[in-house]
A and B are shown apart, each in its own frame.
Chain A
């Protein structure tokens, strides 16, 4: 039986890791468990549960900065931000619907979010979760308390270890304190919807929109059969697949830019607009990958050069028979497969031929144990990654196996 350790303070966290280090006990690190099925299964006899390590240390809305304990729930954080009309600008998705059917809405902790570096549709304009992490404090696999970064926006003091922590899936250290940059909500948001069933045409439409001066803050393509799943009447009413382009900012500017985008892409198809709350609901659904939620079917995430998105998507759909949704102006493609076969070689070959990478986001555990979930790096990069891991967690006690093939042992890429 797995034993659960639930530290409530950084000191208790250090004690727990110190004990694990001393006894060489591997730990599975869990925030709220909302993304536990993302990555490989961890071989550990003990769970380090961070859900008691909570609390807001400070939130200064005028300074656009918030510092919290890593186990604080996103639901709580989003609520606090909303009260001040602020947000995480990278609009992280809410993956429980995608990964763990039945887990409460907006489950997930800030630590888990940063560890997975999950970023939503605004990624194309404002960067990823990692770009909004100003600093952190953590206990490494050496049971040493350390920090990096700070609370200010501009900082070149020493190596930027925050970048290293974001997306490391808890394999280098366990963060207990996280300091984030937050942003005010935009005064206005609108989304231009353009009728379009063809993935390639959709891809080039998004490329044109992003190359224009209209500061598009999100660009996605949703197929006709997935549009209904969004549950937004205006969108369903269009009756075709759609290219969606969001503009945000001061009211007069948003109106002007929407108009400009509709003119620019008039040759693609008829257009509509989503305003305010409708626009927000639409992009929350895209961030949460709602069309593919519900835990049915294997799900891949393919990420590559945005302008190749349409071509990659068309080829993936063609050769796997899977269903597609494109986000990040084509730089992020979701592929849902119908059967139980991950078709890993096929998906990865197509990705690599376009200089893209494929990650298996959702699959039953037995498949995840056979198929490398993460995209393998070349041997030289894998060696550096393995050394970083060894230097931060020499005994391999933190989430062993979680990123499996991503951080292969030296040489085995």
Chain B
């Protein structure tokens, strides 16, 4: 991270006074060490840093005033939502104000006719669905942290989930935002219509990891809940056959609501944990969910079943009730804690590859597994090629953490080598920052930086994230299973 600025630290008292002027609300400015502690990290708990102070504004005017002050006085700012990010995007800095947006927690407008909902950024992802489900609507992107993560954080990370294959990521479901720039200017971009004027700023703000501005209001589109959903479990003797089946389903024009895959180590670990009835004698298990009107779902279940047989499925089961469908999913949803049971620690990686390179990448991972002397299990969003390899290790054994990190970096490099990318859904943050040159040239990075500079010339917003540092620590620190489980106990893991 950039060196703390001593002159800022020396002005801490003045800054606190200024913040108290702007946010006089009870508990709006946090300065005591013990009360700063909960903000020292996000979901990537290997990195910790106490913020200089934390401010919790309650309205856009306050956000604008804070940022204007910070811009004038050249003070760094770290935006923060619910702190569930897995790449350290909300990691504080010793000389920066962390701005928590969690008091922005109201649903402002539900516009049924335009199928649009306007919310404040601190509303949780699931909170949006909760607000509209009584009329049969929902908000489609569903990160598995959805009960906790904020829609503001989702925009910053362009979050996705199991539904993304069919219904898109955050970027495909956001219609507009209100955002405050570091200069304290309030921008309104997009709205309830489908166009905006000028360059597509909404598109670049989504996924910008808090580096371009602070989002203070969000308009998202909502969809009608499908009438029916049913799931198939399909087992294969090789991941190659499983991968082929995924390709065949999609090439046939069928876009399932969810299309997930697990390899043998993951199947064994989860079956031992949740007893979902998974077959233990297959090398790859596909979980295919189809949703829509009942006639459509029944018809597609037949079609997918037939494709699976042609692709050599040795196991096939179709959910016959809602309970059974949820049982099928329970294994997948508990895959992470299941791995946590068989290994003291694990690292969850997140890369995307072209689907047809799947078998090759899985084989490559086995080779790497032997080379690094650590086990790996795979659960992933097979439909869009987004992998989540789980590297198992024991942090109490000297050198194992470092080996696990090196293994993780090798996996991501392998993803890039076969035409994939460093992150499918968790973002770059501080975690993968120094791997960016694996994918991007110097000129590529410069053009990203030019966008950044158009918004934030002095680089005051969330510095040290996304862009590789010349003398960065370079190593890859990632979350530890035990700690995450204790921090977000209610969140199913994907």
Partners in one complex: yes
Q: Which A residues have a C-beta under 8 Å from some C-beta of B?
A: 60-65, 85, 117, 123-124, 127-128, 130-131, 140, 144-148, 150-164, 166-168, 172, 183-187, 207, 210-213, 215, 249-253, 256-257, 303-307, 328, 331-332, 355-357, 374-378, 380-385, 387-388, 390-392, 406-407
Q: Are B354 and A385 in contact (CB under 8 A)?
A: no
With A144-B443, A257-B293: A152-B353 Cβ-Cβ less than 8 Å: yes
Neighbouring A residues of B122 by C-beta, 8 Å: none
Q: Are A355 and B295 in contact (CB under 8 A)?
A: no
* CB-CB nearest 5 A-B residue pairs: A163-B203, A253-B296, A184-B253, A307-B113, A305-B192
Q: Are B356 and A62 in contact (CB under 8 A)?
A: yes
Bound-state Cα–Cα, A204 to B204, Å: 33
Bound-state Cα–Cα, A320 to B379, Å: 59
Most buried by A among B384, B421, B466: B421
Neighbouring A residues of B203 by C-beta, 8 Å: 130, 160, 162-164, 166
Q: Are A131 and B172 in contact (CB under 8 A)?
A: yes
Q: Mark interface residues in B345-387 (1 if CB within 8 Å of A CB, else 0).
A: 0000000111110000000000000000000000001001110
Neighbouring A residues of B455 by C-beta, 8 Å: 384, 387
Most buried by A among B113, B208, B227, B448: B113
Q: Which B residues have a C-beta under 8 Å from some C-beta of A?
A: 111-116, 136, 157-158, 160, 164-165, 168-169, 171-172, 181, 185-189, 191-204, 206-208, 211, 224-227, 247-248, 250-253, 292-293, 295-296, 299-300, 303, 352-356, 381, 384-386, 419-428, 432, 436, 439-441, 443-448, 450-455, 466
7 A-B Cβ contacts within 8 A?
A147-B440, A148-B447, A152-B354, A184-B250, A253-B292, A381-B197, A390-B454
Q: Are A374 and B292 in contact (CB under 8 A)?
A: no
Smallest Cβ-Cβ distance to A380: which chain B residue: B185
Neighbouring B residues of A210 by C-beta, 8 Å: 115
Q: With contacts A215-B292, A253-B293 known, what are 7 further pairs, Cβ within 8 A?
A: A128-B194, A151-B419, A157-B428, A159-B452, A168-B200, A249-B292, A357-B196
Neighbouring A residues of B165 by C-beta, 8 Å: 153
Neighbouring A residues of B292 by C-beta, 8 Å: 215, 249, 253
With A62-B356, A211-B112, A391-B451: A166-B200 Cβ-Cβ less than 8 Å: yes
Neighbouring B residues of A388 by C-beta, 8 Å: 199, 450-451, 454
Neighbouring A residues of B201 by C-beta, 8 Å: 381, 384-385
Neighbouring A residues of B354 by C-beta, 8 Å: 60, 63, 65, 151-152
From residue A229, how far is it (CB to closest CB) to chain B in Å? 25
Neighbouring B residues of A251 by C-beta, 8 Å: 299
Neighbouring B residues of A153 by C-beta, 8 Å: 165, 352, 384-385
Bound-state Cα–Cα, A390 to B115, Å: 37
Cβ 8 A contact of B293, one of A65, A128, A256:
A256
Bound-state Cα–Cα, A164 to B250, Å: 29
Q: Are B164 and A156 in contact (CB under 8 A)?
A: no
Neighbouring A residues of B432 by C-beta, 8 Å: 157
Q: Are B381 and A154 in contact (CB under 8 A)?
A: yes
Q: Are A250 and B299 in contact (CB under 8 A)?
A: yes
Smallest Cβ-Cβ distance to A354: which chain B residue: B193
Bound-state Cα–Cα, A378 to B197, Å: 10
Q: Are A305 and B191 in contact (CB under 8 A)?
A: yes
Q: Are A155 and B293 in contact (CB under 8 A)?
A: no
Neighbouring A residues of B204 by C-beta, 8 Å: 159-161, 163-164
From residue A15, how far is it (CB to closest CB) to chain B in Å? 16
Interface of chain A: mostly helix, strand, loop or mixed: mixed
Bound-state Cα–Cα, A175 to B410, Å: 32
A-B pairs under 8 A by CB, number: 256
Smallest Cβ-Cβ distance to A85: which chain B residue: B253
Smallest Cβ-Cβ distance to B246: which chain A residue: A62
Q: Are B446 and A146 in contact (CB under 8 A)?
A: yes
From residue B470, how far is it (CB to closest CB) to chain A in Å? 17
From residue A204, how far is it (CB to closest CB) to chain B in Å? 8
Most buried by A among B199, B226, B386: B199
Bound-state Cα–Cα, A166 to B168, Å: 18
Q: Are A307 and B450 in contact (CB under 8 A)?
A: no
Q: Are A154 and B169 in contact (CB under 8 A)?
A: yes
Q: Are B295 and A127 in contact (CB under 8 A)?
A: no
Neighbouring B residues of A332 by C-beta, 8 Å: 194
Cβ 8 A contact of A213, one of B194, B227, B419, B466:
B227
Q: Are B194 and A123 in contact (CB under 8 A)?
A: yes
Q: Are B158 and A156 in contact (CB under 8 A)?
A: yes
Neighbouring A residues of B195 by C-beta, 8 Å: 303, 357
Bound-state Cα–Cα, A256 to B299, Å: 12
With A154-B164, A154-B386, A332-B194: A253-B295 Cβ-Cβ less than 8 Å: yes
Smallest Cβ-Cβ distance to A301: which chain B residue: B195
Q: Are B450 and A392 in contact (CB under 8 A)?
A: yes
Smallest Cβ-Cβ distance to B170: which chain A residue: A156
Bound-state Cα–Cα, A120 to B311, Å: 36
Neighbouring B residues of A60 by C-beta, 8 Å: 354, 356
From residue A209, how far is it (CB to closest CB) to chain B in Å? 11
With A152-B385, A161-B447, A161-B451: A213-B136 Cβ-Cβ less than 8 Å: yes
Bound-state Cα–Cα, A356 to B428, Å: 36
Q: Are A127 and B251 in contact (CB under 8 A)?
A: no
Q: Are A328 and B194 in contact (CB under 8 A)?
A: yes
Neighbouring B residues of A140 by C-beta, 8 Å: 447
With A61-B251, A157-B422, A184-B251: A211-B113 Cβ-Cβ less than 8 Å: yes
From residue B61, how far is it (CB to closest CB) to chain A in Å? 15
Q: Are B296 and A167 in contact (CB under 8 A)?
A: no
Q: Are B296 and A249 in contact (CB under 8 A)?
A: yes
Most buried by A among B354, B356, B422: B354
Neighbouring B residues of A150 by C-beta, 8 Å: 352, 419-421, 439
Neighbouring B residues of A307 by C-beta, 8 Å: 111, 113-114
Q: Are B421 and A152 in contact (CB under 8 A)?
A: yes
Neighbouring B residues of A303 by C-beta, 8 Å: 193-195
Neighbouring B residues of A127 by C-beta, 8 Å: 168, 172
Q: Are A306 and B193 in contact (CB under 8 A)?
A: yes
Q: Are A391 and B193 in contact (CB under 8 A)?
A: no
From residue A174, how far is it (CB to closest CB) to chain B in Å? 13
Bound-state Cα–Cα, A152 to B193, Å: 28
Neighbouring B residues of A306 by C-beta, 8 Å: 114, 192-194
Q: Are B451 and A157 in contact (CB under 8 A)?
A: no
Bound-state Cα–Cα, A378 to B385, Å: 40
Bound-state Cα–Cα, A391 to B157, Å: 24
Q: Are B168 and A212 in contact (CB under 8 A)?
A: no
Most buried by A among B200, B250, B419, B452: B200
From residue B387, how far is it (CB to closest CB) to chain A in Å? 10
Neighbouring B residues of A144 by C-beta, 8 Å: 443, 446-447
Bound-state Cα–Cα, A109 to B437, Å: 32
Neighbouring B residues of A151 by C-beta, 8 Å: 354, 419
Smallest Cβ-Cβ distance to A304: which chain B residue: B193
Bound-state Cα–Cα, A157 to B187, Å: 25
Q: Are B225 and A252 in contact (CB under 8 A)?
A: no
Cβ 8 A contact of A187, one of B253, B420, B436:
B253
Smallest Cβ-Cβ distance to B439: which chain A residue: A157
Cβ 8 A contact of B188, one of A85, A156, A166, A378:
A378
Q: Are A375 and B197 in contact (CB under 8 A)?
A: yes
From residue A79, how far is it (CB to closest CB) to chain B in Å? 19
Bound-state Cα–Cα, A163 to B250, Å: 25
Bound-state Cα–Cα, A146 to B164, Å: 28
Q: Are B419 and A407 in contact (CB under 8 A)?
A: no
Smallest Cβ-Cβ distance to A386: which chain B residue: B454
Q: Are A380 and B187 in contact (CB under 8 A)?
A: yes
